[in-house]
Structure formats: C-alpha cells, structure tokens
Amino acid sequence: MAEFKEPWEMLSDKKIWAMLGDPDHKISEDYVRLLFIELFSRVKNLEIENHAMKVILLETGLVSEETYEMVRRAVKDFFKEYDAQKEKEVEFYEKSGISFVDWVNFTLKGTFQAPG
C-alpha cells in the first residue's frame, strides 16, 4: 500500500497551481477529491456572498430590482461575447501546434519551456 503524503500544499493556491501545472506530478485520487472539496467550498462561499450582496443592494434600496436585472442581463451578454472570443483563441492555439501542456505552463508561468 502506498504511503499517503499529507496534502499541506492544498492550503496554498500557489502550490496548487504549481502542482496542476506540472505534467510530471502525479495527482492521486485522494488529492483530486480534496481539490474538488476545496473547489466546491469556494463556489459555495461565492454563492453565499453573491446572495448576501443582492439582499443588501435590494433591501437597502441601493439598487432597484429593475436595475439589478438589467445589469445581470448585461453581464450575461458580456460573458456570451467573452466565451465566443475565448473559443476563437482556443481554436487558434489548437491549430498553432503548441502542445496543451506547453500552453498551460505558459498561462501559469508566462514563458515557454526551452526544448531539451
């Protein structure tokens, strides 16, 4: 049975990104489970904060329901356009011949690894 390494790096976003960006780093099922727990915990916290802000804005009268919905629709439309642009970028990278691993490392570190 393989020895379980304590997942202290899960407490550091920088270490998580380094681990995810290293294609030679094998990630165990236990780590994947812990990553999903952390991810869903953060998503849930964002959901709670989002609803709290909506209640504050609407209940205090800082923003009308109509304005809130108008802004929400505008943001949704913005992300539709943003996603379409990202799709074009992905197609460009896909056709460029750059490997996915190299692209991930570039997005994380800002440089490509020299061959060899």
Q: What is the pLDDT of residues 38-52, one digit of tens each?
A: 999 999 999 999 999
**What ranges do the domains of the chain cover?**
30-63, 65-111
- Closest listed residue to residue 113, CA positions, set 21, 48, 41: 21
HSE at residue 45, side-chain half, CA atoms within 13 A, is: 6
Q: What is the pLDDT of residues 56-82, one digit of tens each?
A: 999 999 999 999 999 999 999 999 999
Structure pTM? 0.63
Number of Cβ within 10 Å of residue 68's Cβ equals 14
Structure tokens at 70: 């108008």
In angstroms, the Cα distances linking 1 to 4, 32, 33, 42, 64 are: 9, 18, 19, 32, 60
